[in-house]
Amino acid sequence: MTRLYSDDAELYDIAFDWDVSREVDWLLERLGPGCRSVFEPGCGSGRILDALASRGLEVVGIDSSPQMVALARDRLHCRGQAHVADMTDFDLGRAFDGAVSPINTLLHLTPDELRLHLEAMARHLTPGARYLVQVDLLDPEQREPDAGSHWEATRGDVRLQIDWVEDELDVAAGRSVQRSRIHILEGPRAGEIVEEIHELRTWTPATWHSAISTSAFTEVASYDGRHEDHWPRVEPTAVGGLLWHELQR
Protein backbone atom coordinates (compact mmCIF):
# COMPACT_ATOMS: atom_id res chain seq x y z
CA MET A 1 0.00 0.00 0.00
CA THR A 2 1.44 3.38 -0.99
CA ARG A 3 1.70 6.43 1.29
CA LEU A 4 -1.10 8.14 -0.62
CA TYR A 5 -3.52 5.52 0.70
CA SER A 6 -1.97 5.29 4.18
CA ASP A 7 0.16 7.96 5.89
CA ASP A 8 -0.81 10.63 3.35
CA ALA A 9 -4.48 9.64 3.12
CA GLU A 10 -5.50 13.20 4.00
CA LEU A 11 -3.76 14.48 0.85
CA TYR A 12 -5.74 11.93 -1.18
CA ASP A 13 -8.93 13.11 0.52
CA ILE A 14 -8.25 16.72 -0.48
CA ALA A 15 -7.13 15.85 -4.02
CA PHE A 16 -10.23 13.78 -4.83
CA ASP A 17 -12.83 15.73 -2.88
CA TRP A 18 -14.96 17.08 -5.73
CA ASP A 19 -18.76 17.34 -5.82
CA VAL A 20 -20.30 13.92 -6.55
CA SER A 21 -23.93 14.84 -5.83
CA ARG A 22 -25.23 14.59 -9.42
CA GLU A 23 -23.36 11.37 -10.07
CA VAL A 24 -24.74 9.86 -6.86
CA ASP A 25 -28.27 10.83 -7.89
CA TRP A 26 -27.65 8.97 -11.17
CA LEU A 27 -26.26 5.96 -9.30
CA LEU A 28 -29.42 5.82 -7.19
CA GLU A 29 -31.54 5.76 -10.34
CA ARG A 30 -29.55 2.77 -11.55
CA LEU A 31 -29.74 0.99 -8.18
CA GLY A 32 -33.53 1.30 -8.26
CA PRO A 33 -36.25 2.58 -5.90
CA GLY A 34 -36.12 -0.56 -3.75
CA CYS A 35 -32.50 -0.01 -2.79
CA ARG A 36 -32.29 1.12 0.83
CA SER A 37 -28.82 -0.17 1.77
CA VAL A 38 -25.60 0.34 -0.22
CA PHE A 39 -22.19 -1.24 0.23
CA GLU A 40 -18.92 0.21 -1.09
CA PRO A 41 -15.77 -1.94 -1.16
CA GLY A 42 -12.58 0.14 -1.24
CA CYS A 43 -14.52 3.13 0.12
CA GLY A 44 -11.45 5.28 0.72
CA SER A 45 -12.21 8.41 2.72
CA GLY A 46 -15.96 7.93 2.33
CA ARG A 47 -17.10 10.73 0.02
CA ILE A 48 -19.49 8.46 -1.96
CA LEU A 49 -20.81 6.87 1.24
CA ASP A 50 -21.40 10.33 2.69
CA ALA A 51 -23.36 11.47 -0.36
CA LEU A 52 -25.49 8.32 -0.26
CA ALA A 53 -26.09 8.66 3.48
CA SER A 54 -27.24 12.26 2.99
CA ARG A 55 -30.03 10.87 0.79
CA GLY A 56 -31.28 8.63 3.60
CA LEU A 57 -29.69 5.32 2.63
CA GLU A 58 -28.01 2.92 5.00
CA VAL A 59 -24.34 2.82 3.97
CA VAL A 60 -21.44 0.52 4.82
CA GLY A 61 -17.93 0.56 3.41
CA ILE A 62 -14.68 -1.33 3.77
CA ASP A 63 -11.10 -0.39 2.98
CA SER A 64 -7.75 -2.04 3.67
CA SER A 65 -6.26 1.27 4.86
CA PRO A 66 -6.91 2.09 8.54
CA GLN A 67 -6.15 5.74 7.78
CA MET A 68 -8.79 5.87 5.04
CA VAL A 69 -11.34 4.18 7.28
CA ALA A 70 -10.65 6.73 10.02
CA LEU A 71 -11.32 9.57 7.55
CA ALA A 72 -14.51 7.87 6.35
CA ARG A 73 -15.77 7.47 9.92
CA ASP A 74 -15.07 11.13 10.67
CA ARG A 75 -16.94 12.17 7.53
CA LEU A 76 -19.93 9.90 8.22
CA HIS A 77 -20.18 10.54 11.97
CA CYS A 78 -23.09 8.27 12.98
CA ARG A 79 -24.74 8.11 9.53
CA GLY A 80 -22.91 5.02 8.29
CA GLN A 81 -20.25 2.44 8.97
CA ALA A 82 -16.72 1.89 7.68
CA HIS A 83 -14.53 -1.12 8.51
CA VAL A 84 -10.96 -2.18 7.85
CA ALA A 85 -11.13 -5.24 5.59
CA ASP A 86 -9.62 -6.79 2.46
CA MET A 87 -11.98 -6.45 -0.49
CA THR A 88 -11.02 -9.93 -1.72
CA ASP A 89 -11.82 -11.67 1.59
CA PHE A 90 -14.41 -10.20 3.93
CA ASP A 91 -17.52 -11.29 5.78
CA LEU A 92 -19.95 -8.72 7.15
CA GLY A 93 -22.59 -11.31 7.95
CA ARG A 94 -25.33 -9.65 5.90
CA ALA A 95 -26.51 -8.73 2.39
CA PHE A 96 -27.16 -5.32 0.82
CA ASP A 97 -29.66 -4.00 -1.72
CA GLY A 98 -26.90 -2.57 -3.95
CA ALA A 99 -23.22 -1.69 -4.20
CA VAL A 100 -20.94 0.82 -5.93
CA SER A 101 -17.24 0.97 -6.80
CA PRO A 102 -16.18 4.27 -8.48
CA ILE A 103 -13.02 5.64 -10.15
CA ASN A 104 -11.20 2.42 -11.06
CA THR A 105 -10.88 0.97 -7.57
CA LEU A 106 -11.00 -2.54 -9.03
CA LEU A 107 -7.94 -1.87 -11.20
CA HIS A 108 -5.88 -2.50 -8.07
CA LEU A 109 -6.91 -6.18 -8.26
CA THR A 110 -5.24 -8.93 -10.28
CA PRO A 111 -7.57 -11.24 -12.26
CA ASP A 112 -7.44 -13.82 -9.45
CA GLU A 113 -8.15 -11.14 -6.87
CA LEU A 114 -11.06 -9.83 -8.96
CA ARG A 115 -12.52 -13.35 -9.02
CA LEU A 116 -12.29 -13.56 -5.22
CA HIS A 117 -13.74 -10.07 -4.89
CA LEU A 118 -16.77 -10.90 -7.04
CA GLU A 119 -17.34 -14.09 -5.07
CA ALA A 120 -17.34 -12.08 -1.83
CA MET A 121 -19.62 -9.44 -3.36
CA ALA A 122 -22.10 -12.10 -4.49
CA ARG A 123 -22.36 -13.27 -0.87
CA HIS A 124 -23.13 -9.72 0.25
CA LEU A 125 -25.81 -8.74 -2.27
CA THR A 126 -29.43 -9.84 -2.48
CA PRO A 127 -30.52 -11.67 -5.67
CA GLY A 128 -31.22 -9.17 -8.45
CA ALA A 129 -29.20 -6.41 -6.75
CA ARG A 130 -27.09 -4.05 -8.86
CA TYR A 131 -23.35 -3.58 -8.41
CA LEU A 132 -22.23 -0.42 -10.25
CA VAL A 133 -18.53 -0.55 -11.09
CA GLN A 134 -16.46 2.16 -12.78
CA VAL A 135 -13.59 0.56 -14.72
CA ASP A 136 -11.66 1.80 -17.77
CA LEU A 137 -11.63 -0.52 -20.80
CA LEU A 138 -8.82 -0.19 -23.36
CA ASP A 139 -8.54 -0.91 -27.04
CA PRO A 140 -6.38 -4.06 -27.36
CA GLU A 141 -4.38 -2.25 -30.04
CA GLN A 142 -3.51 0.70 -27.82
CA ARG A 143 0.24 1.14 -27.43
CA GLU A 144 0.78 4.65 -26.09
CA PRO A 145 0.31 5.46 -22.37
CA ASP A 146 -2.49 7.82 -21.44
CA ALA A 147 -1.58 11.50 -21.12
CA GLY A 148 -2.98 11.54 -17.60
CA SER A 149 -4.79 14.19 -15.56
CA HIS A 150 -3.63 17.45 -14.01
CA TRP A 151 -5.61 19.58 -11.56
CA GLU A 152 -5.50 21.67 -8.39
CA ALA A 153 -7.41 21.17 -5.15
CA THR A 154 -7.88 23.40 -2.13
CA ARG A 155 -9.18 22.90 1.39
CA GLY A 156 -8.76 25.55 4.04
CA ASP A 157 -5.17 26.83 3.88
CA VAL A 158 -3.94 23.79 1.91
CA ARG A 159 -3.56 23.99 -1.87
CA LEU A 160 -2.35 21.08 -3.98
CA GLN A 161 -1.17 20.60 -7.56
CA ILE A 162 -1.90 17.02 -8.66
CA ASP A 163 -0.43 15.26 -11.68
CA TRP A 164 -1.46 11.65 -12.39
CA VAL A 165 0.19 10.16 -15.47
CA GLU A 166 0.73 6.75 -17.02
CA ASP A 167 4.43 5.92 -17.43
CA GLU A 168 4.11 2.44 -18.95
CA LEU A 169 1.33 0.52 -20.67
CA ASP A 170 1.22 -3.09 -21.85
CA VAL A 171 -2.37 -3.94 -22.76
CA ALA A 172 -1.49 -7.49 -23.83
CA ALA A 173 0.04 -8.18 -20.42
CA GLY A 174 -2.77 -6.29 -18.66
CA ARG A 175 -0.34 -3.93 -16.94
CA SER A 176 -0.29 -0.18 -16.38
CA VAL A 177 2.36 1.70 -14.37
CA GLN A 178 1.08 5.06 -13.19
CA ARG A 179 2.74 7.86 -11.27
CA SER A 180 1.05 10.29 -8.91
CA ARG A 181 2.76 13.55 -8.00
CA ILE A 182 1.25 15.88 -5.42
CA HIS A 183 2.98 19.22 -4.96
CA ILE A 184 1.84 20.95 -1.77
CA LEU A 185 1.70 24.60 -2.83
CA GLU A 186 0.29 26.14 0.34
CA GLY A 187 -0.31 25.05 3.92
CA PRO A 188 1.78 23.64 6.78
CA ARG A 189 3.65 21.28 4.43
CA ALA A 190 4.14 23.82 1.62
CA GLY A 191 6.99 22.89 -0.70
CA GLU A 192 6.73 19.13 -0.14
CA ILE A 193 6.26 16.80 -3.10
CA VAL A 194 4.72 13.37 -2.63
CA GLU A 195 5.43 11.17 -5.65
CA GLU A 196 4.58 7.46 -5.94
CA ILE A 197 4.30 4.63 -8.45
CA HIS A 198 1.09 2.58 -8.78
CA GLU A 199 0.95 -0.74 -10.64
CA LEU A 200 -2.56 -1.37 -11.93
CA ARG A 201 -4.39 -3.96 -14.01
CA THR A 202 -5.73 -3.10 -17.46
CA TRP A 203 -8.81 -4.61 -19.10
CA THR A 204 -10.14 -4.73 -22.65
CA PRO A 205 -13.84 -5.32 -23.41
CA ALA A 206 -13.03 -8.98 -24.17
CA THR A 207 -11.01 -9.69 -21.01
CA TRP A 208 -13.41 -7.78 -18.76
CA HIS A 209 -16.55 -9.50 -20.06
CA SER A 210 -14.80 -12.87 -19.84
CA ALA A 211 -14.04 -12.23 -16.16
CA ILE A 212 -17.62 -11.17 -15.43
CA SER A 213 -19.08 -14.15 -17.32
CA THR A 214 -17.43 -16.60 -14.92
CA SER A 215 -18.83 -14.82 -11.85
CA ALA A 216 -22.26 -14.68 -10.23
CA PHE A 217 -22.91 -11.38 -12.03
CA THR A 218 -24.28 -10.39 -15.43
CA GLU A 219 -23.42 -7.05 -17.02
CA VAL A 220 -26.77 -5.62 -18.07
CA ALA A 221 -25.61 -2.17 -19.28
CA SER A 222 -22.58 0.11 -19.73
CA TYR A 223 -22.42 3.90 -19.49
CA ASP A 224 -19.95 6.63 -20.42
CA GLY A 225 -18.91 8.28 -17.15
CA ARG A 226 -16.75 11.03 -18.65
CA HIS A 227 -19.55 13.59 -18.86
CA GLU A 228 -20.24 16.03 -16.03
CA ASP A 229 -24.02 16.15 -16.26
CA HIS A 230 -25.15 12.93 -17.97
CA TRP A 231 -23.92 9.38 -18.39
CA PRO A 232 -25.21 7.95 -21.69
CA ARG A 233 -25.54 4.25 -22.31
CA VAL A 234 -22.89 2.76 -24.60
CA GLU A 235 -22.31 -0.55 -26.34
CA PRO A 236 -20.63 -3.39 -24.37
CA THR A 237 -17.69 -3.15 -26.77
CA ALA A 238 -17.06 0.51 -25.90
CA VAL A 239 -13.58 1.53 -24.78
CA GLY A 240 -12.51 4.56 -22.80
CA GLY A 241 -12.00 5.93 -19.33
CA LEU A 242 -14.45 5.99 -16.45
CA LEU A 243 -16.94 3.57 -17.98
CA TRP A 244 -19.68 2.52 -15.58
CA HIS A 245 -20.65 -1.19 -15.69
CA GLU A 246 -24.04 -2.16 -14.31
CA LEU A 247 -23.67 -5.67 -12.92
CA GLN A 248 -26.67 -7.65 -11.66
CA ARG A 249 -26.39 -10.31 -8.97
With CA atoms as reference, report the closest residue to 18 among 51, 61, 60: 51
pLDDT for the residue numbered 227:
81
Half-sphere exposure of 140 (CA within 13 A, CB side): 7
* CB 109, CB 136: distance < 8 Å: no
Q: How far is CA 236 from CA 44, 105, 243, in A?
A: 28, 20, 10
Please report, in angstroms and rounded to a whole number, the separation of the first and last CA atoms in the chain.
Answer: 30
pLDDT for the residue numbered 132:
98
**All CATH 3.40.50.150 domain ranges in the chain, comma separated:** 3-138+203-248
Half-sphere exposure of 16 (CA within 13 A, CB side): 20
**pLDDT tens readout for residues 194-243:** 999 999 999 999 999 999 999 999 999 999 998 877 899 999 999 999 99
Residue 178 makes CB contacts below 8 A (sequence gap 6+) with: 148, 164, 165, 166, 167, 197, 198, 199, 200
pTM score of the predicted model: 0.95
Ranges of beta strands (E only) in the chain are 37-41, 58-63, 81-84, 96-101, 125-134, 149-155, 158-170, 175-186, 193-201, 218-224, 233-234, 243-248
* CB 164, CB 151: distance < 8 Å: no
Residue 198 makes CB contacts below 8 A (sequence gap 6+) with: 2, 177, 178, 179, 180
pLDDT for the residue numbered 7:
94
Q: What is the mean pLDDT of residues 143-165?
A: 95
- The pLDDT of residue 75 is above 90: yes
**All CATH 2.20.130 domain ranges in the chain, comma separated:** 149-201
Q: What is the mean pLDDT of residues 70-95?
A: 97
Q: Which helix (H) or strand (E) holds 50?
A: helix 47-53
d(CA 164, CA 152): 12
Query: Is the domain 149-201 a CATH 2.20.130 member?
Result: yes
**pLDDT tens readout for residues 64-74:** 999 999 999 99
pLDDT for the residue numbered 230:
83
CATH class, domain 3-138+203-248, is: alpha beta
pLDDT for the residue numbered 226:
87
pLDDT for the residue numbered 229:
75
